[in-house]
Amino acid sequence: MASSGAESFPPGYLAEYSGDELVRVAAAFIVLEILFVGARFYAKTKIVAPLGPDDYVLLPALFCALGCCIIAVHSGGVGYHVAAVAMKNPNAIVIWAKAIFAMQILYAIAISTAKLSILFFYLRIFPTKWFRISVFVLIFMDIGLGVSIVASAIFQCHPTAYLWNKAIHGGWCINQLACYRWISLPNIIIDVAMLVLPLPLVWRLQTSSENRVGLTVLFVVGSIGIVSAALRMDFFFRKDVFLDPTWTAVPLQEWSLVEPGVYVIAACLPTLRPLLVQLTPRIWARVASTKASKDVSRLTPVIDRNDKFRRLDRIPLENWNTSASKLTANVSEVRDTPWEDVEANVSQPKSTFSSGYLKNPF
């Protein structure tokens, strides 16, 4: 029977394997996620500031994202056609189904908590009231979506074991394909809102253009998560993942690794600039020197050869005496002014950027 079944497939069909690319993607994101999160925590504890909520919620995002990478590599039979897996090791399909079940839960937690880290970062740097209200709305939407995805993964089949053991009498599952297709839509909506919402405030910041560009780059990098979510959604509409699940799982799982990985990396970017300055002081010193030279050149007046000057010895002495008398009177007036009146007249500059991040938002 096995022989006749094997003969019904095209030559080389059962030997086809596409899992190497998935292994490379998983290995790359394991290294990148650990590297970026480690650098973030080193920079926050040694250079910048104490840890905050945006740091703490990033830890479960990291662990769940790493869990997805490990499961993607070791899930049974991924990269082979399901017919080949069924012939060689039928139990591997059960292992694969259990691995996908666990990966769905870890994926939802990783996505939700990584976005929470970015949203908490927004709250920390932007004090504008309308913006903070909008961010809190996104936080509740993100948490609600994460909980709903986890719940749909846990209760997609009843009993849960029916997901990998169809022999259970009376078991049933929801329309899994429809769920997979449409669960990405609210995720993309939140992603777009997170990208667009802070841009108007960033470009109105009272800070250097380099800092504004840096923050914009941060948001653009985060938009890669939107691309991966959209491609993941498109894949579910183009492919029926249940026809040859272990084969079609390769590109699907790749995007499921890229999306949380990109958000974890994007959440780390704001804190890495001080670390780069410490590790490469000469390069940053040159950048600062070049910027200072440009600032000085803008402030230095250009003197033309046709400009007319007056010799100091030709200015009437009474003009000097008058100016000196006015200066002495002004100094005396300031000296005699009560200190509380001076404090009352001092106005603080307004800024849409919270203190501590105006000079160095990264």
**Of 220, 145, 221, 154, residue with least CA distance to 185:** 145
The whole-angstrom separation of Cα 32 and Cα 265 is 8
The whole-model pTM stands at 0.74
Q: How high is the mean pLDDT of the chain?
A: 77
Q: How confident is the model at residue 233 (pLDDT cuts 50, 70, 90)?
A: confident
Tell which residue, 257, 309, 345, 341, has the closest CA to residue 73.
Answer: 257
Which candidate, 17, 53, 58, places its Cα nearest to that of 40? Answer: 58
> Are the C-beta atoms of 82 and 247 separated by less than 8 Å?
yes
The whole-angstrom separation of Cα 252 and Cα 344 is 63
Preceding amide of 159 cis, omega within 30: yes
Calculate the CA dihedral of residues 312, 313, 319, 322 and round it to 10 degrees.
90
b (16+ CB within 10 A) / e for 190-221: bbeebeebbeebbeebebeeebbebbeebbee
Q: Which amino acid is at 269?
A: L
Residue 308 confidence (pLDDT) above 70 = no
Cα separation, 234 vs 101, whole angstroms: 21
- At 173 the three-state DSSP class reads strand
Digit-coded pLDDT (tens) for 260-295: 998 899 888 878 877 777 777 665 555 555 555 555
**Top-confidence residue, 183 or 314:** 183
In this prediction, residue 305 carries a pLDDT of: 52
- Distance from C-alpha of 257 to C-alpha of 263, rounded to nearest angstrom: 10
Cα gap 70→311, rounded to integer Å? 81
Residue pLDDT, tens place only, 113-163? 999 999 998 898 888 899 999 999 999 999 999 999 999 999 999 999 998
What DSSP character marks residue 168?
S
**Cα–Cα nearest to 249, from 108, 109, 100:** 100
Domain residue spans of the chain = 2-143+184-269
